[in-house]
């Protein structure tokens, strides 16, 4: 059997009723996996039916991922329906874009609740299952978590304080998941995808190349997610990837730019002033922790009109 096949495996995909989640669910099914399809509305049933036509199993579970017990229900559905849980793709999300000075409590809560709490709820339930399964087997098991972060956490866009914060937190959650579950045979990685979907319809211009497969087609991202879920990606853990178009970019961790040391052993205001003011003099406004250089990866020719 191919090292990239998922026959006999079972995947849970949240937000899979449309867009990127649907593409991911179909890609996993095409690789042979049974799929538990989650979304808040009836579209989950439609995608499940589409997957069944591919010759594998599918079950739709409607519900809001930010409801903590839904994670347990998704895991139980996978195990009860297909005998295992092997892959979790956390994709569900919403956007409530606004400037910080216009941000309402509900706009903050909605985004943090669905993105961050949703990721945590499903990941936590899967972690309990895999830990118990590994202890029962006396050996590592097969487990894959793919979380959906965003370049928003790298750029810190002015109009997305809630979304950028949620995606930064998801990245940190991914690293914690990777470290906490690796002993049980589980990997966790994060993707920062770009895809043309209903949620991003207002963000991108049309594909200037009129390709048969849109340069920002979600299927391009879904192929990579299917690979991350496969046995072939067993050594990939705790990584962050920017994924879209014709490329996959592996992000490096932050580095220390400069270390400032007190000559007296304890900084005074004057010492800080002497060292830091000179270092930041004439510094460009964009030369900060935001990773604006990542935008240089984009060779799609499709303009992000929200930038």
| Cβ 71 vs Cβ 124: under 8 Å | yes
Compute, in degrees rounded to 10, the torsion defined by CA atoms 279, 282, 288, 292.
Answer: -140
- Catalytic residue of the set 123, 134, 163, 184: 163
Give the span between the Cα atoms of 217 and 239, in whole angstroms: 23
Give the span between the Cα atoms of 166 and 13, in whole angstroms: 19
The 3-state DSSP class for residue 174 equals helix
**Enclosing H/E stretch for 168:** helix 161-181
Give the span between the Cα atoms of 15 and 36, in whole angstroms: 11
Residue 163 is a catalytic residue: yes
Residue 167 is a catalytic residue: yes
β-pairing, 240-244 with 247-250? antiparallel
- Catalytic residue of the set 134, 149, 167, 244: 167
- Terminal C-alpha separation, the chain: 44
E runs forming strands in 134-246: 143-148, 186-193, 240-244
- Catalytic residue of the set 150, 226, 230, 244: 150
Q: Which residues are catalytic?
A: 150, 163, 167
């Amino acid at each position: 059997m191919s090292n990239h096949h998922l026959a006999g495996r079972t995947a849970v995909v949240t937000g899979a009723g449309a867009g990127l989640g649907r593409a991911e669910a179909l890609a996993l099914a095409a690789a042979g996996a049974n799929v538990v399809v989650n979304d808040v509305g009836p579209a989950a049933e439609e995608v499940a039916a589409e997957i069944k036509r591919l010759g594998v199993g599918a079950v739709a579970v409607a519900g809001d991922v930010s409801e903590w017990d839904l994670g347990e229900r998704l895991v139980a559905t996978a195990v009860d329906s297909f005998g295992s849980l092997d892959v979790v793709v956390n994709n569900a999300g919403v956007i409530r874009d606004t400037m910080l000075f216009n941000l309402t409590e509900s706009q903050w809560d909605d985004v943090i609740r669905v993105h961050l709490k949703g990721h945590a709820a499903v990941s936590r339930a899967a972690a309990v299952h895999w830990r118990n399964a590994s202890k029962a087997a006396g050996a590592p098991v097969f487990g894959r978590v793919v979380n959906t972060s965003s370049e928003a956490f790298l750029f810190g866009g002015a109009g997305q304080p809630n979304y950028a914060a949620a995606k930064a937190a998801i990245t940190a959650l991914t690293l914690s998941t990777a470290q906490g579950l690796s002993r049980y045979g589980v990997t966790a990685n994060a993707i920062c995808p770009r895809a043309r979907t209903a949620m991003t319809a207002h963000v991108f211009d049309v594909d200037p190349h009129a390709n048969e497969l849109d340069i920002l087609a979600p299927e391009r991202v879904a192929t990579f997610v299917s690979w991350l879920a496969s046995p072939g990606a067993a050594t990939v853990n705790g990584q962050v990837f920017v994924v879209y178009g014709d490329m996959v970019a592996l992000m490096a961790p932050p580095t220390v730019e400069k270390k400032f040391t007190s000559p007296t052993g304890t900084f005074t205001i004057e010492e800080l002033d002497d060292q830091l003011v000179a270092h930041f003099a004439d510094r460009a406004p964009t030369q900060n922790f935001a990773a604006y250089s990542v935008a240089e990866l984009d060779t799609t020719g499709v303009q992000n009109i929200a930038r």
